[in-house]
Amino acid sequence: MLNETILINKPINWTSFDVVKKVRSSIKKKLNIKKIKVGHAGTLDPLATGLLIICIGDKTKTISEIQNLEKKYLAKIKLGFITESFDREKKEIQKSGIENITEEAIFHIKNKFSGAILQTPPKYSAIKIDGVRSYKKMRSNDTDFTLSQRQVHIYSFIIKKITLPYITIEIICSKGTYIRSLANDIGIALGCGAYLFDLIRLEIGNYKLEDALSIDQFEEKYEFS
C-alpha cells in the first residue's frame, strides 16, 4: 500500500484533490503514520466523473509519465446554450435556437476537430496568471485577462448519440486537452453555442475505468471502513 497505483472512479462534486486527501488520510489512520506521499495523475473537474489515477509513495515518481498518456472521454454536450465556465458550474444562457442544426452538420464538425487543433483553455481553469489560478481570478471578479491558445491533438472523435439538444461524443486526446473548451468550440462551429453537460473519463493509456474502485470499494478493499 505504501508504494502503489490505485484507480479510483471519482464521484461527481468531488475535486481530484478531495480524493487524494481521502486516500492519504485513510492510509495514515490505518497504518498509524504521520506522513505519506499521495498524488493524482491528471485532474478531473468537480462535475466530471470517471478514472482518476492515485499514486502512493514511490509511485508518485511516475505521475508525469502517466499524465503524458492519451486520455479517452465520453462527453455529453448541450447545444443552443453557453455558460461562463463552459460546463454546468455556471448558469446557462440561451445562445441560439437549434431548429436549423442538422445531423449532417453535427457529423461534419468531426473533420474540424480531428488531428492537431488549437484551443483556448477555459478561464475557469487551474492555469496560473501572475501566480494566481485563473478560476480564482474569475471568482473574485478579476476577469480582465486572456489565456493563450495551445495546440492539442484529437486522435479520435466519434459521435455516439444525437438527441437534441444533446450530443454525446467519445474523444481520445492528448495531454492538456480541455473537453470544456472543445464543447464551447463545437458550439461556435455550429453557430448555436454549446457547453459541456456531463463528462466521464474512460481511459488513461492502458488504465481503464472498468478496473477502478469507488471510494466505498477502496475503503472496503483496504479495510479502512
Q: By the 8 A CB rule, do 93 and 184 touch?
A: no
Tell me, yes or no, if 45 is annotated catalytic.
yes
Q: Name the nearest CA neighbour of 5 among 212, 203, 223.
A: 212
Cell digits of residue 86: 463552459
Q: By the 8 A CB rule, do 71 and 173 touch?
A: yes
With residues binned 3-state (H G I as helix, E B as strand, rest as coil), the percentages for the chain, rounded to 5, are: 30, 35, 40
Q: Name the nearest CA neighbour of 48 among 220, 221, 199, 214.
A: 199
Q: Catalytic: which of 18, 45, 58, 142? A: 45
CA distances from 48 to 43, 88, 132, 200 (A): 10, 10, 23, 6
Residue 218 and residue 25: Cα distance in Å, rounded?
13
Q: Name the nearest CA neighbour of 4 among 201, 220, 222.
A: 222
Catalytic residues: 45
